[in-house]
Structure 1
Amino acid sequence: MPLLIEPQALLYLMQSLVFIVLAFVFFMYLRTFSRQYTKYWLVSLLTITSSYFIRAVIPYHNGVVIDNSHLLIVPTLLVVAQYTALLFLFAGVYNAKTNLKPSKSVFIFAFSFIVVFSIISHSFFAFDSKNAFNHFYLTVSLPNFVFSACFLALSFYLFVDKKPHFSSKVLMYFAFILGLRYLFYSFVSILALTEPWFKQLSFALKYFDVGATTVLGFILLVWMQGAERFAALNAISRAQYLGKHDSLTGALNREQVMARLSEVMVNTLENKKALAVFLIDIKQFKFINDTYGLKVGDYLLGEIANRLNNSIFLPQAVGRLSGDSFMFVLEFEHLSHVERAVTHIHEMINKAFYCNQQEIHIQASLGYCFYPEHANNAEDLLQKANLALHHAETNNLASVAFQEGMQAHGRHLLIMEKQLKAAIVNDEFILYFQPQLNLLTNKLEGVEALVRWQHPEKGLLLPADFLADLEELGMHNEFDQYILAKACKHNAKWFEQYHRRVAIAVNITAIEFQDEKLVASIQSLLQEYQLPPKYLELEITENVVMTDIYQGMETIVKLQNMGIKVSIDDFGTGYSSLSYLRELPIDKIKIDRSFIQEVASNDSDLTIVKSMVELSHGLGKRVLAEGVETDEQLNVLRHLGCDAVQGYFISKPLPENDLLQYFTPKHNN
């Protein structure tokens, strides 16, 4: 005889097959998009599938008193599966809405509670026929009430959601209907359990539940499709946004701000007004990144962009060109508006920033030009504003307006940059050496290396002819490294040829001295040329150290630990003078020539030099006087206790061949 399958078992079997297909679709979504909520919903569907499969192969009746303990397992497993499905359904909704992932401890606690609660509720009165009604209430009425509370809570959660969408609204209504269904059945099962129509109601609700769970699966599927479509559209929108805006600050990027500037120029001309194009560069922004960290630096850039965009001057365009450089475009009628705008921009930048409970102050350099006065296209306006900004930074000015002469100077710098780089490659720079006389021994103490440029066309050029261009072009770092290597090479050659070591003093600029790689670079040079550290002396100005005194002192200490001497050049001319002398761990002070010129005839200069010598000696530092040109000056300095001198009276700067005479025995005595 053919095997007969009960209609209810067949229904559950077909439902389990439907959910297997749904679970497979969810699995493919999970593999493709790797969404956490899809994983939760997949577990929920698999749990529902297993419950239907159990119902199909092991028919049973809810709330019936049993006579064998092993028969208790099936209804307990089924209710555990139902509660678990609800748990992962809610976890998926929560993750989809908040993008937050519940912790493992939450799942462990919830699942443990489900198992314990299910076992207890199904065990009470399970074997007592006298308490069949109580057993029914615990295994049927109570779970229905719990399901009702859960679905109504889910509906309320979706109802108060601040960002509802179509799928979440559908699920909200669906959860509300299911909540009412389980609430209705829970109360009816208590009040009308013995009524003849109750069994028919229970039978009808089984078919309703089968259809409802199928609808639930498809609602979740529609949710996933909508979510991925929204994510795709959002990605497209973001890509379009990033194509026009800087990703860090939200300001227009260079391409878009230039396009915006071109549009504004047309409107401005029609309105018979003018434009001011400002370029803003943040001073010492690398110091901000190094001191506070890159995240703080990024935060500051974003805040600067916000302040510029929200300016009361209502800018026509605000853009971030690169790094810490911004463009600010303003329409104006009178020049007085521009002057107020300059002050306003500096006030916005100078106003304190607060990040991670830190108060940070920054400053900016400003260069600007006008349309249509200075140019009639966006690129030329940007170039001329950039020239003005470069002039402001080079001369340490807060703000500079473009002037026609700057363009010629810019062309000069382009030519000089090419020539200077070629000069370094072709080794056109040569060193002259000015001897330094030790007043105690009357012997050569050391030499100061002074650079000259043997220009292939202009002949021998002094530093005044090219150092300013080097500084404006930002080539000091490369140039200082080149001169240091050259000085070490000369010293190594002298030892090889004459078995003499002479300390060479080399001037170091502020940019090179603030370079974190300076110490490592010098170590490499000393090793390459086998030069003992005591024969290399670095000369820095006061202002080099005072730019960042703590960083300066740290660098000096590292150099001294290597055995390299550090001296302060042109002492007395900087803004710090004596105030920081006791804090600087330097070896030698070089008194500027301006105090030496009249030291023998001017009592004020004599008093100043005497004070410098006494103070330096009191702090354990040696003193060298520059610019000694007469016998009277030398005698005064000797009488004051000065340790060493240099100047034309001792010797003018000498080329290497003329310096070698000091290596002879005559000059050693």
Structure 2
Amino acid sequence: MKSTDIWFIVLKHLADNLLIRFGDEFTGRISENEFLVWCVEKDYRQLERMANRLLESYSSKISVSGFEFDIGLKAVFVRSSSSFANFEDFSYVGLYALTEIKSTGKRGLVTVDESLIKRSQESLALNRDIMKALKSGEIVAHYQPIVHASTGQVVGFEALARWRHPTLGMVSPGLFVPLAEQRRLIVELGEVILEQACEFISDIQQKSDSSSQNRMSIHVNLSTPHFHHKSLVETLVNLIEKYQLLPGQLVLELTESILLGAEDEIVERMEAIKSLGVQLALDDFGTGYSSFSSLCNFPLDIIKLDKSYIDNLDVNDKAKTLVRNIIHMSQELGMTTVAEGVETASQLRKLNVWNVDEIQGYYFFKPMDKHQALEKFAK
């Protein structure tokens, strides 16, 4: 039997059970694996009891047509006292609540409260507006300077995506970046920030002292779908030519998850990018899937030490040993090391003793918008 046939059997079993328990109400399937029961005449306490009994009946494996299933049924309850402008808003709050249940691991029936309704409305607004925001310029790059560790001289910037929503204000990247991934807009988001970043570093270099030998770099984060996108190399060629970027000025920061997969294909892709004069940095080294062998197996230029290690330098001897050895090993391999999240003089002193190359963090600079950065550094 095909997996699709088995899945249909499970869905039909659940639908039949809902009709048996709520047969005199409106019951329907609203997405691939979500159902809605609309009750108009029952007391909400009675409905809660009915819903909890339904959840209890699916709390362990069930047997259907000779197969055993653990379907992990979740349920949310929205009271009629809550007001919604339309059916879309009503159904979305239920789906949003289900997403929160899955992410937090909550059990049992979850009753939607005003706080959750507010969060769902904000999420719905972001869902509706993210495409427009990408096209209208609401999502822009802010820039955090990267400095030479021993001199404090600014040697580059990291471009960080920021969204100022017209009604919700500043939206956390922790909200809209996953949303872009869900909406399959992560490549479009990446290209918006990539072009802004290239334009910025070109502007700041042109407005700096023309006799200066300091060619500042710009770091841009690259998602896994963007790294593998068929038009990436062509896009890079066009941007480098358009903004007259010099070799080494553009740095693409890769997540460790990008290194998972067919190693030969990944190396070939990296080499194609590097042939354009683009440098490659491994972001947040040590927090994901990669091992020290990644430094040997992939053509990386820069290793960025994650903030979580830097935070522990003053309190954890193991963190000190690890950071010190990563710096020494990376440099012996010919790679530049950048310490992220440096916030104290004590952290800076230790990193300088170990000869880290570059520093990024609030100790020197916070991220700033383009106009602030140009005013401060284009001299």
Q: 1:484 aligns with which of 171, 180, 194?
A: 194
Q: Per the alignment, in what secondary structure is the counterpart of residue 635 of structure 1?
A: helix
Q: 2:61 aligns with which of 330, 340, 349?
A: 340
Q: Distance in 2 between matches of 1:556 and 1:645?
A: 25
Query: Which residue does the alignment assign to 2:45?
Result: none
Query: Which residue does the alignment assign to 1:475?
Result: 185
Query: Which residue does the alignment assign to 2:248?
Result: 534
Q: Distance in 1 between matches of 2:63 and 2:221?
A: 37
How far off its partner does 1:662 sit? Answer: 2.9
Query: Which residue does the alignment assign to 2:224?
Result: 510
For residues 428 and 337 of structure 1, do their structure 2 counterparts lie closer, same or farther at Cα, with a shift above 3 Å needed?
closer
Please give the per-residue CA displacement for 1:85-123, whole angstroms capped at 9, x wherever unaligned.
xxxxxxxxxxxxxxxxxxxxxxxxxxxxxxxxxxxxxxx
> Using CA pairs below 8 Å that are at least 6 residues apart, which structure has the higher relative contact order?
2
Query: Which residue does the alignment assign to 1:607?
Result: 321
For residues 449 and 478 of structure 1, do their structure 2 counterparts lie closer, same or farther at Cα, with a shift above 3 Å needed?
same
For residues 407 and 545 of structure 1, do their structure 2 counterparts lie closer, same or farther at Cα, with a shift above 3 Å needed?
farther
Q: Which residue identity lines up with residue 470 of structure 1 in the other structure?
A: A
Q: Distance in 2 between matches of 1:646 and 1:442?
A: 10
Q: Distance in 2 between matches of 1:335 and 1:428?
A: 46
Q: Is the 8 A contact 2:204 2:378 kept in 1?
A: no
For residues 444 and 269 of structure 1, do their structure 2 counterparts lie closer, same or farther at Cα, with a shift above 3 Å needed?
closer
Q: 1:454 aligns with which of 155, 164, 186?
A: 164
Q: Is the 8 A contact 1:388 1:401 kept in 2?
A: no
Q: 2:300 aligns with which of 569, 576, 586?
A: 586
How far off its partner does 1:506 sit? Answer: 0.9
Q: Which residue identity lines up with residue 662 of structure 1 in the other structure?
A: F
Query: Which residue does the alignment assign to 2:372?
Result: 658
Q: Per the alignment, in what secondary structure is the counterpart of residue 534 of structure 1?
A: coil
Q: Per the alignment, in what secondary structure is the counterpart of residue 239 of structure 2?
A: helix
Q: Per the alignment, in what secondary structure is the counterpart of residue 562 of structure 1?
A: coil
- Say which one has the larger Rg: 1
Q: Is the 8 A contact 2:122 2:168 kept in 1?
A: no
For residues 344 and 266 of structure 1, do their structure 2 counterparts lie closer, same or farther at Cα, with a shift above 3 Å needed?
closer
Could you tell me the TM-score, scaled by structure 1's length?
0.42
Query: Which residue does the alignment assign to 2:310?
Result: 596
How far off its partner does 1:345 sit? Answer: 12
Q: Distance in 2 between matches of 1:611 and 1:402?
A: 50
Query: Which residue does the alignment assign to 2:142?
Result: 432
How far off its partner does 1:447 sit? Answer: 0.8
Q: Distance in 1 between matches of 2:314 and 2:306?
A: 15
How far off its partner does 1:559 sit? Answer: 1.1
Query: Which residue does the alignment assign to 2:39?
Result: none
Aligned length: 336
Q: 1:544 aligns with which of 240, 250, 258?
A: 258
Q: Does 1:554 align with 2:274?
A: no
How far off its partner does 1:488 sit? Answer: 1.4
Q: Per the alignment, in what secondary structure is the counterpart of residue 590 of structure 1?
A: strand
Q: Is the 8 A contact 1:387 1:407 kept in 2?
A: no
Q: Is the 8 A contact 1:452 1:463 kept in 2?
A: yes
The runs of 5 or more residues in structure 2 that have no matched partner are: 34-52, 79-87
Identity of aligned residues (%): 27
Q: 1:568 aligns with which of 270, 278, 282?
A: 282
Q: Does 1:634 align with 2:348?
A: yes
Q: Which residue identity lines up with residue 227 of structure 2 in the other structure?
A: F
The runs of 5 or more residues in structure 1 that have no matched partner are: 1-247, 281-331, 349-365, 375-379, 665-669
Q: Distance in 1 between matches of 2:15 and 2:310?
A: 62
Hey, which of these two has a bigger chunk of strand by percent?
2
Q: Which residue identity lines up with residue 349 of structure 2 in the other structure?
A: N
After superposition, the CA RMSD in angstroms is: 4.8
For residues 454 and 268 of structure 1, do their structure 2 counterparts lie closer, same or farther at Cα, with a shift above 3 Å needed?
closer
How far off its partner does 1:653 sit? Answer: 1.8
How far off its partner does 1:493 sit? Answer: 2.7
How far off its partner does 1:457 sit? Answer: 3.2
For residues 649 and 619 of structure 1, do their structure 2 counterparts lie closer, same or farther at Cα, with a shift above 3 Å needed?
same
Please give the per-residue CA displacement for 1:362-381, whole angstroms capped at 9, x wherever unaligned.
xxxx88568xx99xxxxx9x
How far off its partner does 1:640 sit? Answer: 0.6
How far off its partner does 1:593 sit? Answer: 1.5
